[in-house]
Structure 1
Amino acid sequence: MFPLDRRTEFQIGGTWTDVSGDVRESEPITIERGAKSESAKAGPSKCTLKLNNRHGKFSPRNPLSPYYGLIGRNTPIRVSVKGPESYLRVEGNTSSYARTPDHNSLDITGDIDVRVEVTADWYGTASQSILGKWDSGGNRRSYLLRIINGLIILNWSVAGTATLLAQQVLPALPKRAALRATLDVNNGAGGFTARFYWAPTMDDPWVQIGDPLSATPATSIYSGTAPLEVAPILATGVTPLTGRVHRAEVRNGIGGTVVANFDARAQPEGTTGWTDTAGRTWTVGPDATVTDRQFRFHGEISAWPSRWDVSGADVWVPLEAAGIRRRLGQGQKALASTLRRRIPAFAPLAYWPCEDNDGATQAYSPIEGVAPLTVAGWRFGQDTTLAGSSALPAVEAGGSMVAPVPPPTGSSTQWSVHMVYAVDSAPGTDAEFLAWRTSGTVRRWRIIQRTGAATIEGYDGTGALLVDQGVIIGDDVFEGWQRFYFYVTETGGTVTWRLDWHNIGGAAGGIGSTYSGSTGRVTQIQTQFGASVSGLKVGHLAVLPVASTAAYTSADHGFSGESAIGRMRRLANEEAAQINLSWIDGDTAMDTERLGPQRPDKLLSLIEEAAATDGGILYEPSDRLGLVYRDRASLYNQPVRLALDYAAPGEVPPPLEPTGDDQQLRNDITVTRSGGSSARAVAETGPLSVEPPPDGVGIYDEAVTLSLATDDQPARIAGWRLHLGTWDEDRYPTITVWLHAAPHLFDEVLGMDIGDRLQISNPPPHLPPGVIDQHMLGYTEKLGLYEWPITMNCAPAGPWTVGVVEDTVLGRVDTDGTTLNGPMSASTTVANVLTETGLHRWIDSATYGSMFPFDVTVGGEVMRVTACIGTALSQTFTVTRSINGIVKAHASGTPVRLTHPMRAAL
């Protein structure tokens, strides 16, 4: 392992180039990731190193440099070390795959069993193909395993053309996991059955995902000639996998003969082909790579400062690279309103957001070739109450708007007109709200409203009234923001028209009918607002070549109510050119916290807002340039990723210094919904309560405003924040591991990531007894040739251990009203306990024998209760002493508490 095989690469001219020979070996490469302390949020990753530059090789403006014109600001960089095994790195494009030719053993028509072990983004919105014998273009479809948006899907075809599928929702998975799908083509009951499984690796026991999926009739699999592919590229409409493929198997029969056994783990780095143990010959695509590199940093180099000594003989570049968060946080303009961003994506013929600033005299259009909207009686930038919009204009009674509408490309038999509006009150007399001209049978359309009624009028070219449809309307179309949606479609000379009112964020309704003729096209917006209209606000006027409301749906209320991960997913899709964002979903059966409307702001700020509301961790990954969001649920009840032993040499070198400070202490918390109500949670009693010392610690208050969807959320979140802020346990700001002294921890440490859990057993006797249990929030590592220290920034994991219904440990409810009913010596194994009147007693072993044993804490000593006698408030425990290494005498009246009580998650 040492000297450490560290590698530094720059992306030069689109190719990753190894520059390790130019990195000074005398100094370590220093990498920082995540948060620097419990109270700080994760910032940009950082990497510092020194490059030799005696020949000006790394001076971007030096024309003699071989990299002249190829390096400069934000040149990508990555740093890696040699890992324990190889894998196939696939990039998600059509040149990144592994393939073996068709073989008769792969032409399975009956029961099939496919297995893969991959490192992947399980919850991405793109459909990612993992393993398959599937050629869509050639109608050679046999079987295909893929994932999309937290689903695992098995596709198969009977004849190579039509597709069948079975799917299940994935559970919360670690980054590296094994998946398995089986298909029983004839289950003996006239149908087929598919089953899905997962495991940490393909060597571990399989856990079934969901229930078996059965349907009729029985099926079969097409025996085609397509090759078998890892990260298949011949499946159209499906993106090849992005990530790492470690292993893959195809078996003829469920648990049957292995007919393909892809295994990249033992292949040397750079291997482009091999024959597996089943006899299949694999070829690696040009953009796929067999590698054993474990990446510790991905970032960008923003500057190349050249430095030299007084002699000029020693020249170097002290390089400092940073993750994408640095660039995203600098000088980026705010994203426009959700309506302004969404509507142009639907290719409108004309669109006027009307979000112009106060002082504007016309409304511009972001659609190329569309003239501005000429207005009169308008004052822009006056109303900000529509959640999906920036400030919109106020229009005087009798104001007007007019603009031409360009023709569609080609002929069309449908179109729609949309506008959002709000008025102070319903007009008492007929008032025009929206009107436009067309080239069809109806040449002019008008929407007229008054108190209790509305009319849609359509006039032909002579001015004759062809459409005159009235409708009774309620006050709800004058309460808050509304949206008009008017569309026409033509079939066989019959035109169908409809007008709908959408109460934004609420119900919809409308009227419609038909007439004989043609739709024509919209040629002009021409509206003279009624003189009786008071307090009118309008905006986001659009003409679309289709009869659809999709351009406005949810965007009109700023996507209020979408989950934190849902918002991140949508933003990542909308801004795919700017950011590569993935997420870890700790509970796929429940949504992350629901957010309020998305207001105009910077992309990074909007993502950070979603993360702050949900309460998870937003950080930069080490294996790519991008962002990862780890949701709050993924921090609950985590498995231990790194187990350290204080007594083992090198595993926990000094300093190991607990801190019982008040950095994160909060005992009086107010949470406010942005634009809504507030809730407060206060610790009234207890050692960390607002009571002054010695009964408490005094007031440590906090007030936060969050983007929340409803007014019932602040109370829950305030309670959870109070739970975190009053957790009474020491934190360990830094825990260090010397990998050069404890190389046996290499694999476990490389598997750690931000937010993961670590424990230290056998702490020194001067510290509290029991295992030290922490979350790693960030770290600093120094990659030297002969030294590799990693210093982790940590916080207690205890408050993230939450209740699990019916769990034998985490499913038990605690009591705060039980004490010892008499003293205990240091050696007795009997404890007499008394529960206060009005509280529930402890379970007795005669009735609830299957629920024993369980642990209680008495005066800092953990005891294991193996039996309990008595069904009244006075009971007798039989206990095993010193479970946590502490044993001592206890006085009568000492509190008795569950060691692992159920705590409600947020």
Structure 2
Amino acid sequence: MALLVEVGWGGLVQAPSTITWTDISQYVNIAQKVTITRGAADELSDTQPGTASLVLDNADGRFTPGNSGSPYYPYVRRNAPIRIAVAIIPTRSGSAPYPLAMLGDDFDDDRVNAALWPNNYGGATETGSRMRVPVTPGTNAGFLTAREWTLTGSKLTAKLVTLPGANGSSSAVASMWVNSTTSGTRLGWRYNAITGQISAESQTGFFDGTAVTFTYSAIDHAWLRVRESGGTVYWESSGDGFGWTVRRTLATPSWVTSQTLTVEFPTARTGGTADYVEWDLVGATVRPRFYGMVNEWPVDWEGLLSSVRITCTDLFKRLNRLPALRSMVAEEILAQAPLVYYPLSEDSASTTAGDIGGNGAPSLGISQSGVGGTLTLSSAEGPPETGEQAPVFTPTSATVGKWLSADLGPQFEDSTTLYLCFEAWFQTTTTGRCIMGVHSTDLQYQHLLSISAGGGLQIEWTSDGSPLTVEAVSGPTTLTNGAWHHVVYDQREGKVWIDGVLVDSALAVPRGFYERVLHVGGYRNTRLWSGSIAHAAVYATQSTSAGPTAATHYTAGMTGYAGEDADVRIQRLARYAGLSSVTIAGSTFDPIASQGPGGSGVVARMREVEATESARLFAERDWYGLAFQSRDVRYNPDPVSETFTIAYADLETRGVELADDDQKLVNSIEASRPGGATQKVTAPASILAFGVYDPGTLSILKTSDNSVLDAAYWRVSRYANPQPELREVPIEAYTMPNYLDILDADISSYFSVTGMPAQAPASSVRSTVEGYTETIGERSHLIQFHTSTTNNDSVWVLDDPTYSVLDSTTRLAY
């Protein structure tokens, strides 16, 4: 096993695809061990932010923040991305020929392993815990095995750590080859330092006319692999040694299956200046253990010896730092990156309304026409599911009163060389008034959205300063009924959506206006709005249309997306937090009620969904992402799908405990939902035996009373009489032959402990992983699994010998 610790100096943890990782493993003080925590203590607790702690050797000050002499300066700073993995190095067993998957070397002792590499040449060495091969003018160099390997059904993997430079040469290459018995017939990867390209090649006579070539990326091609399976050779690359991308495939050459092979890492250079290539972790199988950010870099001294003990937290640290969410309408608009966005939800004492689009646009100020009329912010209820107030415009007449306006400046004017898309909510009972409009400072260009005398929507415009052209919008003429309505007008497409429905797609309005003065609730002293306007936004669109997406904001304001499934809601909330995707596991997801109003953080909202679904939400351990598991992921675990099994005798037996207490017991529970009934479910037999155990009211975001009842029954049926269970299972994983299987265990995985002592209620106990604490040391990897019994998630299956046992496994699925 090799510990692999990498830091993304200067990178942003929220932009993982742009991070170039630097291996700092050699500076980790493994004697003081690396500790990682993940998941929850039990199935009834929330998963906690994952953490990692480790100590780094700081003898040369490289990990001292602000040290200009550090090779990482100025990026030794808080929140630096970090990832931790273990690389399992294979060993040879049996007799030759060996499968190439057994060729493994971590180069950690700075001595060439002569048994693996008996034919090194040209000054190739093991230096700095890496394979180092000189790239010297006129001299070939390389690491070379004996002819004792096979590729069929196997693989060769290596990490490319240090690239050679062009250095004035006409040719400079470094390669990883699997060699046949015929000189020049080989396959593998080849890096060309002159072109900066890497190629997947199958050569005959030292040439491949169909080689697949890429520009080398330290992000995407840090790891390289050749693999044979089922008659096909695969060339694959990876950024972390765990997730692989196929770059080329080829029908397996006949020599691959008929010959015993050698492996070679050669170099060659013509002219120029010498340097070297470095490879590492040949044959390693990587298992990620942590992905997150460094909280701080505290420097400690013991005499003149310096170290840095860092603690790290996964992405929940960033999510928990995010400000409280605004309403779903606001979050949807912000996610679409408007040029300007005025929610118009300021306090009633305010006299201006601010832009929160993030582009620094000025506030809208109150403009007055004539004498009289009022405009009071925060004086009416906004769209139903926003939980926000809206302004009330009360003019004396169409030309006497107040409206909002601002000169948005040259930055906005430059943006309007693109097409514009307008969005707003409004309510009124008055016809012939203006919702919003923009114009250039010389009034040559003007563009308005207004209500016609007949109560429908109309678009008004000019591009030459002439009187406004009015174009009626096909659609409802009942927009002055006092109800909230939503409008989106996409100039690029000539389309209008009203209340989420496309009502016109053939507007003949010129495009590409140069405008900068915005009016809301009136237009240049006339057509003053009577009623309310909210969430006014303007987008710039060019190659794609903004309208279809903006039109969905109607549902956000009217229903808060009530009724969408829980997995869709989680992905929506993740998008508000800047996460592009969530790994969804399982298929049982109920409709979720509205979470429209703002005020709570994104994690709190996700937890509401998680609790409603009896689901599991946690951070991934191999990348910057979330995982959301449906409750059905745990239904009726199949022994064939167990992550691993382990004999009780192989456990670190101190700390193994079979618990049988009332910690989880629930036999009476009240449950409710927003706008629904409060209902109660009990387990009379449990109450008779143990007394009442009531955890308090379960408030969940269901959309029907029946769903609430199902959720309450699910809780009581699982915990009315909890069975004895193992809650802590410590395993010294490093010493186990199924080490990789143990490392694959994650939240909701399950495994069996066999050969239980005679005092146990059964000879085998199956447990579900809720979380774990792992401690990685020199030739040691202790994992303390926090577990629950898998029986809690058994559900009834008709006529099944295991899952239809009366009063035992006849729990109805939820």
Choose the corresponding residue for 1:738, options 714, 732, 742: 732
CA distance in 2, matches of 1:592, 1:202: 41
Shift of 1:743: 1.9
Q: Is the counterpart of residue 658 in structure 1 residue 658 in structure 2?
A: yes
Quickly say closer, same or farther: Cα 1:467–1:386, change in 2 above 3 A: closer
Q: Is the counterpart of residue 904 in structure 1 residue 789 in structure 2?
A: no
CA distance in 2, matches of 1:550, 1:288: 50
CA distance in 2, matches of 1:42, 1:730: 22
Quickly say closer, same or farther: Cα 1:593–1:288, change in 2 above 3 A: farther
Quickly say closer, same or farther: Cα 1:615–1:375, change in 2 above 3 A: farther
Quickly say closer, same or farther: Cα 1:651–1:401, change in 2 above 3 A: same
- Where structure 2 has 5 or more consecutive residues not aligned to the other structure, the ranges are 11-19, 91-100, 102-155, 161-174, 179-199, 203-208, 213-227, 268-276, 368-373, 396-401
The alignment partner of 2:713 has SS state of helix
Choose the corresponding residue for 2:568, options 566, 569, 573: 566
Give the aligned CA root-mean-square deviation in angstroms.
Answer: 5.2
The alignment partner of 1:747 has SS state of helix
CA distance in 2, matches of 1:654, 1:552: 59
Quickly say closer, same or farther: Cα 1:650–1:394, change in 2 above 3 A: same
Choose the corresponding residue for 2:289, options 289, 292, 296: 296
Q: Is the counterpart of residue 729 in structure 1 residue 727 in structure 2?
A: no
Question: Which residue in 1 is equivalent to 2:88?
Answer: 83
Shift of 1:23: 0.5
Question: Which residue in 1 is equivalent to 2:137?
Answer: none
The answer (yes or no) to whether the contact 1:348–1:542 under 8 Å persists in 2 is yes
Choose the corresponding residue for 2:646, options 623, 644, 647: 644
Shift of 1:15: 4.2
Quickly say closer, same or farther: Cα 1:683–1:575, change in 2 above 3 A: closer
Shift of 1:793: 0.7
Equivalent residue letter for 1:799? N
Question: Which residue in 1 is equivalent to 2:622?
Answer: 623
The alignment partner of 1:733 has SS state of strand
Q: Is the counterpart of residue 17 in structure 1 residue 23 in structure 2?
A: yes
Q: Is the counterpart of residue 373 in structure 1 residue 364 in structure 2?
A: yes
Quickly say closer, same or farther: Cα 1:499–1:141, change in 2 above 3 A: farther
The alignment partner of 2:664 has SS state of coil
CA distance in 1, matches of 2:281, 2:437: 56
The answer (yes or no) to whether the contact 2:458–2:470 under 8 Å persists in 1 is no
Quickly say closer, same or farther: Cα 1:759–1:59, change in 2 above 3 A: same
Choose the corresponding residue for 1:353, options 343, 350, 359: 343
Q: TM-score, length-normalised on structure 1?
A: 0.58
The answer (yes or no) to whether the contact 1:581–1:628 under 8 Å persists in 2 is no
CA distance in 1, matches of 2:476, 2:176: 66
1:430-466 Cα shifts (integer Å, max 9, x gaps): 463625466999978564479x954748698887996
Equivalent residue letter for 2:244? V
CA distance in 2, matches of 1:559, 1:90: 47
Question: Which residue in 2 is equivalent to 1:328?
Answer: 319
CA distance in 1, matches of 2:707, 2:801: 29
1:738-783 Cα shifts (integer Å, max 9, x gaps): 336x522323211211221122233333332353222111112222
Question: Which residue in 2 is equivalent to 1:60?
Answer: 65
Choose the corresponding residue for 1:542, options 529, 538, 541: 538
Question: Which residue in 1 is equivalent to 2:676?
Answer: 677
Shift of 1:18: 3.4
Question: Which residue in 1 is equivalent to 2:48?
Answer: 43
Quickly say closer, same or farther: Cα 1:610–1:686, change in 2 above 3 A: same
Quickly say closer, same or farther: Cα 1:382–1:258, change in 2 above 3 A: farther
Question: Which residue in 2 is equivalent to 1:364?
Answer: 354
Equivalent residue letter for 1:393? A
1:704-761 Cα shifts (integer Å, max 9, x gaps): 3344456654333233233333353123221122336x52232321121122112223
Quickly say closer, same or farther: Cα 1:706–1:499, change in 2 above 3 A: same
- Where structure 1 has 5 or more consecutive residues not aligned to the other structure, the ranges are 92-97, 102-130, 134-139, 144-200, 204-226, 233-239, 274-283, 491-496, 815-855, 857-896
Question: Which residue in 1 is equivalent to 2:36?
Answer: 31
The answer (yes or no) to whether the contact 1:617–1:630 under 8 Å persists in 2 is yes
CA distance in 2, matches of 1:260, 1:339: 63
The alignment partner of 1:401 has SS state of strand
Quickly say closer, same or farther: Cα 1:30–1:403, change in 2 above 3 A: closer
The alignment partner of 1:776 has SS state of strand
Question: Which residue in 2 is equivalent to 1:594?
Answer: 592
Equivalent residue letter for 2:547? T
The answer (yes or no) to whether the contact 2:435–2:529 under 8 Å persists in 1 is no
Question: Which residue in 2 is equivalent to 1:391?
Answer: 388
Quickly say closer, same or farther: Cα 1:605–1:231, change in 2 above 3 A: farther
CA distance in 1, matches of 2:657, 2:308: 36
The answer (yes or no) to whether the contact 2:49–2:316 under 8 Å persists in 1 is yes
The alignment partner of 2:394 has SS state of strand
Fraction of identical pairs, as percent: 18
Q: Aligned runs of 1:679-828 on 2, under 5 Å?
A: 679-687=678-686, 691=687, 693-694=688-689, 696-708=690-702, 713-726=707-720, 728-739=722-733, 743-769=736-762, 771-803=764-796, 808-809=800-801, 814=804
Q: Is the counterpart of residue 633 in structure 1 residue 632 in structure 2?
A: yes
The alignment partner of 2:293 has SS state of strand
CA distance in 1, matches of 2:449, 2:776: 72
Task: Give the structure with the larger helix fraction.
Answer: 2
The alignment partner of 2:738 has SS state of helix
The answer (yes or no) to whether the contact 1:417–1:542 under 8 Å persists in 2 is yes
The alignment partner of 2:86 has SS state of strand
Q: Is the counterpart of residue 485 in structure 1 residue 488 in structure 2?
A: yes
Question: Which residue in 1 is equivalent to 2:104?
Answer: none
Question: Which residue in 2 is equivalent to 1:125?
Answer: none
The alignment partner of 2:519 has SS state of strand
The answer (yes or no) to whether the contact 2:772–2:783 under 8 Å persists in 1 is yes
CA distance in 2, matches of 1:738, 1:636: 29
CA distance in 2, matches of 1:459, 1:316: 68
1:389-442 Cα shifts (integer Å, max 9, x gaps): 573423142252344575565867x7554311246xxx3x64636254669999
1:15-36 Cα shifts (integer Å, max 9, x gaps): 42334455152x4332222113
Question: Which residue in 1 is equivalent to 2:78?
Answer: 73
The answer (yes or no) to whether the contact 1:46–1:323 under 8 Å persists in 2 is yes
CA distance in 2, matches of 1:510, 1:787: 67
- Greater shift in the superposed pair: 791-800 or 743-752: 743-752
Question: Which residue in 2 is equivalent to 1:120?
Answer: none
Equivalent residue letter for 2:670? T
Question: Which residue in 1 is equivalent to 2:128?
Answer: none
Shift of 1:346: 5.2
Q: Is the counterpart of residue 553 in structure 1 residue 546 in structure 2?
A: no
Q: Aligned runs of 1:816-855 on 2, under 5 Å?
A: none
CA distance in 2, matches of 1:62, 1:408: 42
The answer (yes or no) to whether the contact 2:319–2:577 under 8 Å persists in 1 is no
CA distance in 1, matches of 2:255, 2:455: 71
CA distance in 2, matches of 1:242, 1:808: 42
The answer (yes or no) to whether the contact 1:363–1:372 under 8 Å persists in 2 is yes
The alignment partner of 2:346 has SS state of coil
CA distance in 2, matches of 1:729, 1:65: 56
CA distance in 1, matches of 2:813, 2:79: 42
1:224-249 Cα shifts (integer Å, max 9, x gaps): xxx986469xxxxxxx9995239999
Equivalent residue letter for 1:374? G
